[in-house]
Amino acid sequence: MHAAKPSGGLPFLPFARPTIDEPMVSAVADTLRSLWITTGPQVLAFEKALSEYHGGRPVRVFTSATAALEVALLTAGIGPGDEVIMPAQTFFSCANAISRTGARPVFVDVDPITRNMDLEATEAAINPRTKALMPTHFAGLPLDMDALYELAGDTDLRVIEDAALAIGSRWKGRRIGSFGDIASFSFHPNKNITTIEGGALVFADDTEAARCEPYRFHGITRNSDGTRDVTVLGGKYNMPDVNARLGIMQLARLDEFISRRQTLVARYFKQLHTDPPCVLPASGDSGHSWNFFAPLLPLNQITLSRKGVMDALQAAGIGSGISYEAVHLTSQYRKLGYQEGNFPHAERIARATLTLPLYPTLLESDVDRICDTLKSILHSAKR
C-alpha cells in the first residue's frame, strides 16, 4: 500500500483549535492591567452572562469542568456507599469525579449510533445504592432529555448532565442547561468556547447554587463578625478573572461558532464517502452544537491499524484524536471488576473512533483536503 502524499506547503490542520482574536487578547490584557486577576468582577459578569444564556438559571464557574462535576456530586449529597450510573463511552473525568467523592461509578453501554448512554441499560442498572445519573451529551448531541428525566423522576434520582461538549446545544429548541437538574460545561481550549481552562455548573435553584460555593473555595463560609469558618471539605476551584474575561468575549460569539461548526460538519457529511466506508456519527438536527466529528474507521477491512491511519494523516499535515477510549477498560476501573465484553458498543467505538479536525476557523477547502486524504489512505489500505 502507499501512504498519503505529504502535504507540501499546506498548513498543518490540528484536530482542535481555539478561536481567539485580537479583541479577546486586548480584553484579557486589560484585565491583567487592572491588577485584579483572581476571582472578582469579571467572574461575576461571566456568571451573569452564562445565566442569561441559560434562561436566568443560577451559574457558578470553576477552574475546570472536572472540578465542576466533583462539586456537583458533593452538592447533591453523593458520597461513600453511593452509586452513580454513567456511560462507558465518555471522557475519564466523569468516572474520576465520581470516585473522588467516595462513590462508585457504574458503567452502562451506549447507543451504537448516537453514542449516548443507553437508557434501557441505565434503568436495568438502578438499585437501592443508586443516587444519580450522569449522562454525557456525546460530541454535543443531546441525549433524549424527555426519556432521561422521566426515568429520573420515576426513580427519584438526581441528574448531573456532563454537558462538557454541549454548550449551545438544544433539545426541542431549549438550550441544554436551561432546564433539568444540574448541567456541567467545559471551557477547555478544544470546547465550543474557551476560558483557557475552566468549567461551569448551571443549577435549578439559587439555594443549591449557593450551597456549592464552599466546595470551590476551601470549604470556607463567612461568620457575621467577618471571621471565617470551614464547614465542608472544599477544594481550590475558583476561576480567575483573567479566564472569565476571555469567557465573556467567547460567549458573545458562541452561536456564531456553532453555526460555523454546523456548516463544516455538513461539508464532512457531503464529502466523506470512503471505500471501504467509515461509520459516520449521528447527524442529529439543528440542535447539535458539534464539538467534534468522529467517524468509526473500517478497521476490519483495511491493513492499517488506527495508529497507522493517524500516522498517515499526520504525515499529510492533518492532526487527529481519539474520542474516546472505553473508560471501564482503563487500569483504574478494571479494578472494579470490569473487563472486555461488558459493553460491546462502547468497546467497538473505542477501538475504531477517529476524531477529525473541526473548529470555526477551519475552511471548507480544509475539510475537502481532510476527506480526500482519508479516502486515499483507506483505499490504499483496503484488504
Q: Catalytic residue positions?
A: 191
Locate all alpha helices (DSSP H) within the chain, ordered by sequence: 22-34, 41-53, 65-75, 92-100, 119-125, 145-155, 206-216, 241-251, 254-271, 306-315, 331-334, 344-352, 364-380
Cell of 155: 426513580
Cell of 269: 457529511
- Give pairs for 275-280: CB < 8 Å, separation 24+: 275/375, 275/378, 275/379, 275/382, 276/301, 276/302, 276/378, 276/382, 278/374, 278/378, 279/352
Q: Are 352 and 306 in contact (CB under 8 A)?
A: yes
Report how far apart the first and last C-alpha atoms of the chain are (Å, whole number): 10
Distances (CA, A) of 20 to 23, 25, 224, 241, 352: 8, 7, 43, 17, 32
Q: Are 117 and 345 in contact (CB under 8 A)?
A: no
Alpha-carbon distance of 284 to 290, in angstroms, equals: 9
Torsions phi, psi for 221 (to 5 deg) = -125, 160
Q: Are 10 and 21 in contact (CB under 8 A)?
A: no
**Strand, helix or coil for residue 106:** strand
**Strand, helix or coil for residue 37:** coil
Peptide bond into 276 cis (omega under 30): yes
Cell of 252: 458573545
> In what helix (H) or strand (E) does residue 201 lie, and over which residues does it extend?
strand 199-202
Torsion (CA) 345, 350, 352, 355 in degrees, nearest 10: 120
